[in-house]
Homo-oligomer: A and B are copies of this chain.
Amino acid sequence: MDDTATEILEATYRALSRHGYADLTIEDIAAEADRSTASIHYYFDDKETLFIEFLEYLSDRYTDRLASIDDDDTDGARQRLLALLAVVLDDDAEATGREFRTAMLEVIAQAPYNEAIRDRMVTFDEVLFERVHAIVSTGVETGEFDDAVDPDLAAEFLVSATTGAFTRQVTIDEPPQQSMETVTGYVDARLLPDESENL
């Protein structure tokens, strides 16, 4: 993908955060990209095509960010796991974090009605599950996590809790910090061995 197409996708991110999904138009994206709508149409046939490309772009970026944390093995498993969940729950790197999450929940809610969106959501879910699972498994192997922890169950539970905390941030305005406290509480009380709990 050339630079201009990438620029348009970055503008889509900002336009989505600003306008929400239901009301998003090619005009909004053109304004955000400081381009004509004709130049947007030169790269993407219609809004549907652009949006699917945008989800692909988001998915690649998300996968790269999760992978970069997983690979950074200078930190312990606990720290890597919390950094991973913070990508979903407390994304300080994005000034538009809250607006973006709000728009994304609208997109997510369209999954049952739109197969392309649904396929992307399955990928987002699988990527997060695999990363959580890998870190929990490594933590159990190295003894940083309790050896009674079942990585399948813990990963399933953490992905559901993270998805729920994301939903609650948007719908009941739960602060990102509270979401992180909740998942941190689980990791510390339930994954660390018992002797750590008593420190």
Q: Enumerate chain A interface residues (CB-CB to B < 8 A).
A: 20, 22, 102, 105-106, 108-113, 118, 121-122, 125, 148, 150, 153, 156-157, 159-168, 170-173, 179, 182, 185-186, 189-190, 197
Please report the C-alpha to C-alpha distance between residue A170 and residue B117 in the assembled complex, in whole angstroms.
12
List 28 A-B pairs, Cβ < 8 Å: A22-B22, A105-B109, A106-B109, A106-B110, A108-B109, A108-B167, A109-B109, A109-B171, A118-B173, A121-B171, A121-B172, A122-B172, A125-B168, A125-B171, A125-B172, A153-B182, A153-B186, A159-B168, A160-B164, A160-B168, A160-B182, A161-B161, A162-B164, A163-B164, A163-B168, A164-B165, A164-B166, A190-B190
**Minimum distance in angstroms from A68 CB to a CB of chain B:** 24
* A102-B112, A118-B171, A121-B172 given; 12 more Cβ-contact pairs under 8 Å: A108-B167, A109-B170, A111-B172, A118-B172, A125-B171, A125-B172, A150-B185, A157-B185, A159-B168, A161-B164, A163-B168, A167-B167
| A110 / chain B contacts, CB cutoff of 8 Å | 106
Evaluate contact between A171 and B112: CB separation under 8 angstroms: yes
Interface of A is mostly: helix
Evaluate contact between A159 and B164: CB separation under 8 angstroms: yes
Please report the C-alpha to C-alpha distance between residue A166 and residue B106 in the assembled complex, in whole angstroms.
15
Evaluate contact between A153 and B189: CB separation under 8 angstroms: yes
Q: Which residue of chain B is the closest to A182 with respect to CB atoms?
A: B156
If A163-B164, A182-B160 touch, does A171 touch B108 (CB 8 Å cutoff)? yes
